[in-house]
Amino acid sequence: MTYKKLLPLAATAAMLPGLALAQDAGAEAAAHTQFILTSVLFLLGGVMVFWMAAGFAMLEAGLVRSKNVTIQLTKNVALFSLAAIMYWLVGYGIMYPGDWLIEGWLGPFFAVTSLDPVGVGADAVDVGYAAGASDFFFQLMFCATTASIVSGTLAERIKLWPFLAFVVVLTGFIYPIEASWQWGGGWLSEAGFSDFAGSTLVHAAGGFAALAGVLILGPRIGKYKDGRTVPMPGSNLALATLGTFILWLGWFGFNGGSQLAMGTISDVSDVARIFANTNMAAAAGALVAMAMTQVLYKKVDLTMTLNGALAGLVSITAEPLAPSLFQALIIGGVGGVIVVFVVPLLDRLKIDDVVGAIPVHLVAGFWGTFIVAWTNDGASFVTQIMGFAAIGAFVFVVSFVFFTIIKATMGLRVGEEEEINGLDMAELGMEAYPEFTNG
């Protein structure tokens, strides 16, 4: 081989170390980009789910009577604040255990969450995932949502501080334990249960806790009289409608953020697909509930329509990625049907759910969890039912026990005169304004 022919080979050999270094640098930059984008997804998704707290507050303020609006708003601010502290102290460590106390079932009770150090570098983080604080922030919002669901059901007759005592237990222990079974890699995850964003883990869990509370608390004074249900219209349906739209908006972060990754074309495409399916299910739930009230009652009912949209959202939450738009429409539409039939059923059973949270979150949560196996080949109907039943039994029983203890010690319900005058006056010392009081 001649000298001239050897020159290109020598040049190529000289370039190889540089090419290898460039490839390593490119791979490192790609990994850093994925880490950054996923962290941003968690932060933006978390902010959107945080905005749902405003949605719950507005929805509940609109659906309770005027004499109870301020106490309801107070509860929503307080429960979110308590959730933030309890999830930091114990909840996050229980839900995502490094070491299980009981393998697959129970995480450590005393693992206070700490953040990544200031100015942390790539060598001290999980570059394949996201910033630890972003994950904590995002997951906290789901915990707070669970407590918000309970608040509306028990409105207009529960004392403030006993309710907040239950929130401490719910957000610090009950929710993190059952959520760890699936999202923390626990026994339900190993069994093949699937709940993408929390139809069961968040919504049905909140619904079961609310059901336990309402069975112990009993209905509002005058709600059921002489075998009939007495309507108790809310204070402001404009607020309730605003709250529903805020929840609808926040749900894009709730479901979209649960993709848990945004560093590739595939991830971003999937997040977009989740957004579209989430919206379709909500729209179908609203329209089906609206049409059914027209057919059954000869009049459209706005509160049913609002809850139909929310039930559609809950229904799609367990699997918002796999369905087609047409399947999302069907799944959400059935959620609307559930609301229209379950709301009056609860009244016949004399279960006084002020805002309709049990039909929306518990019953539609079951439907959404069950139907996952229709669109997700990796799930089975039997396992979905088993997971729902296990979480429901745990949350209901533990909640029932704690509500019973609270009732026996602190007292759970305000007095008859206080309830008639309104909790704004009884609990907050506010004067009543009869011209604005609806009932």
pLDDT at 80: 96
Calpha distance 149→67 (Å, rounded): 21
Question: What global pTM score does this model have?
Answer: 0.90
In terms of pLDDT, which residue wins out, 84 or 226?
84
Rank 19-23, 120-124, 280-284 by mean pLDDT and report only the highest: 280-284
Establish if 202 belongs to a structural domain: yes
pLDDT at 420: 92
Domain that holds residue 407: 29-436
Calpha distance 346→342 (Å, rounded): 6
pLDDT at 33: 85
> pLDDT band for position 22 (50/70/90)?
low
Does residue 308 contact residue 332 with C-beta atoms inside 8 Å? Answer: no
Helix pair 265-297, 325-348: axis angle to 10 deg? 40
Which residue type sits at 72?
Q
> pLDDT band for position 241 (50/70/90)?
very high
In terms of pLDDT, which residue wins out, 6 or 172?
172
| Residue 7 confidence (pLDDT) above 50 | no
Establish if 254 belongs to a structural domain: yes
Establish if 8 belongs to a structural domain: no
Q: Which of 263, 308, 265, 267 is nearest to 289 (CA)?
A: 308
pLDDT at 106: 92
Establish if 170 belongs to a structural domain: yes
Q: Mean per-residue pLDDT for 1-12?
A: 49
Establish if 12 belongs to a structural domain: no
- Write out pLDDT tens, residues 111-127: 888 888 888 877 778 88
Calpha distance 377→363 (Å, rounded): 23
| Residue 437 confidence (pLDDT) above 50 | no
Q: Please, what is the average pLDDT of the chain?
A: 91
Establish if 2 belongs to a structural domain: no
Question: What are the residues whose beta carbons fall under 8 Å from the beta carbon of 261, sequence distance 6 or more?
Answer: 34, 38, 41, 267
Establish if 86 belongs to a structural domain: yes
Establish if 20 belongs to a structural domain: no
| Residue 436 confidence (pLDDT) above 60 | no
Calpha distance 341→344 (Å, rounded): 6
| Residue 183 confidence (pLDDT) above 60 | yes
Q: Mean per-residue pLDDT for 409-423?
A: 93
**Half-sphere exposure of residue 55, counting CA atoms within 13 Å on the CB side?**
21
Q: Mean per-residue pLDDT for 267-280?
A: 97
CATH number at residue 410: 1.10.3430.10
> pLDDT band for position 56 (50/70/90)?
very high
Q: Mean per-residue pLDDT for 2-19?
A: 51
- Based on the structure, what is the number of domains in the chain? 1
